[in-house]
Chains A and B, each alone.
With several copies, the nearest count.
Chain A
Amino acid sequence: MTHEILFAGFGGQGILSMGMTLAYAGIIEGKEVTWMPSYGPEMRGGTANCIVIVSDKRISSPIIGKFDALIAMNQPSLDKFESAVKPNGIIMYDSGNIIVPPTRTDVTIAAVPVDVEALKLNNLKVRNMIMVGAFLSICQVVDTGTVVKALAKVLPERYHHMLKINQEALQRGEKIVIEAATPLA
């Protein structure tokens, strides 16, 4: 099984680390992974995106034009990449930031209100983990438990007090999708 996922959004939304965490979780589960950022002009701000491939076998090209899933964290990203999702693929988007939803009818679409959920957890920094949790509940690329382990690797020591809240965020993300499962299916 090979999963080819695109994470996209504003710089500063934690796009790259979302992908990195997922990739690390893949490694922990003994899979092959690549994480490929699109590094933009040498300036702060702007948009950021990364491709993550998690696979059971050796990964040939880390560069792909079509994706199994798109995680879009802002409007421009959704607009730009909606058409790059394979038929029967998945589009997850941050409904707090995205006003015009996707229009494709041949893919699974999930609107995730990460802001609202993050506020519930009293921590806006975990928005991206809520999204990851939500995504994994739809597409089990790796175990959420592994993601927590991966976070312990990805986060520098000084942030390890944040592990717990991130774990909660992941679970929160999983849960809301399950709650909303029927309308999404």
Chain B
Amino acid sequence: MSEVRLMKGNEAAAEASILAGCDAYFGYPITPQSEIIEYLSDQGRKRGMIVMQVESEVAAINMIYGAAGAGARTMTTSSSPGVSLMQEGISYIASAELPCLLVNINRGGPGLGTIQPSQGDYFQSVKGGGHGDYHLIVLAPASVQEMADFVYLGFDLADKYRNPVLILADGALGQMMEKVVFPNYDPKAHKLPKPWATVGKTPDREPNVITSLHLHSEDMEKINLRLQEKYRKIEANEVRYELINTDGADVLMVAYGLTARICQRVIELAQQAGIKVGLVRPISLYPYPYEIISKLTEKIKGYFVVEMNAGQMVEDVRLGVNGKVPVGFYGRMGGIIPTAEEILQNLQKFVKTVSVKEKK
């Protein structure tokens, strides 16, 4: 299996889900993620996965609920408008604590918007687009290889915490091809027992019930507290990030996904221009790496956030920074991917302002 293959990010995620032992996939076509359902309709079905194109995203997410509740490894994928339609279902899944994997190949919004890549669904993903207090574990891949790798990771985290996991990738990551290697992953060794699943009540146990309803406030608050406790555990254990060139940097960029890749180019260009910058790349968007962001404030003059949106993650960076250094931002919207050159230009302006401040 260690063969090197050239694949689109969408295909890599689809292939990985087969290798990860995903039992059932339910989805609905939407650009730019349709390659996933198409790949699975061919390869997945041939290799024994239940692959269903169903009537809508609303149906799909509720089928995930049913299948996950029945103990299956299960996944759905969509893109922004389709993911919005799933918000009620996602809130139910989070509340009923059902492990499953969701993939959002983010396109430009709001509304029908454009099919070009975007990171405009950051807030929806990390703050909760659905109702109530819940969190998805959110992973942001930055390469085709990670589009595959985070599928195994996602399924495993979902099982471990009985929590839905979301892979948030912009459209370009779904569409671009890179080489990818599929590791030896034995689903049997990873899948955890699910004694709570509804598979038919045996005489030795009480009925298993999957529900998110708790009519009495006291009961519901208990559920809420249990969820919050779980989230604290996730925050303690599952923060993932990458530090690139942070040592000795004056300014650190913060970017995830594709923009993090572009920012690596910015580092190269900046070095040529004599500016010492580095990059903090959050890999888990929830739990968010507040701590490292906070810690690094001691060594730098400022953070510079780059996103393909109006500046959503900026808020999380500012929460991590807590006023200690200035936070700048550069973003593009509507499906436009910023180039390293334009980022550098804006970064330079930012560097100037923070250097001036320092002098004062």
Contact = CB atoms under 8 A, between A and B. Distances in A.
A92 interface: no
Contacts of A20: 6, 177
Interface residues of B, number: 26
A33 B341 CA distance: 21
Given A63-B337, A64-B339, A42 B176 contact: no
A27 B179 CA distance: 7
B158 interface: no
A36 interface: yes
Contacts of B341: 65
Contacts of A33: 6, 177-179
A65 B265 CA distance: 12
Given A24-B6, A64-B339, A37 B264 contact: no
Contacts, number: 72
Given A27-B4, A39-B32, A63 B178 contact: no
B31 A39 contact: yes
A62 interface: yes
B218 to A, nearest CB: 13
Given A27-B4, A60-B261, A65-B339, A42 B172 contact: no
Contact of A35 (B6, B115, B215): B6
Interface residues of A, number: 23
Contact of A61 (B116, B171, B265): B265
B258 interface: yes
Given A36-B172, A63-B337, A23 B6 contact: yes
A34 interface: yes
Contacts of A27: 4, 6, 179
Contacts of B265: 60-61, 64
Contact of B261 (A40, A62, A153): A62
A169 B341 CA distance: 38
A61 B216 CA distance: 22
Interface string A53-72: 00000011111110000000
Question: Which 9 residue pairs of A and B lie closest in terms of their CB atoms, listed nearest first?
Answer: A60-B264, A61-B265, A35-B177, A61-B262, A65-B339, A41-B215, A60-B265, A36-B176, A63-B337
5 contacts: A36-B172, A39-B32, A61-B265, A63-B262, A64-B265
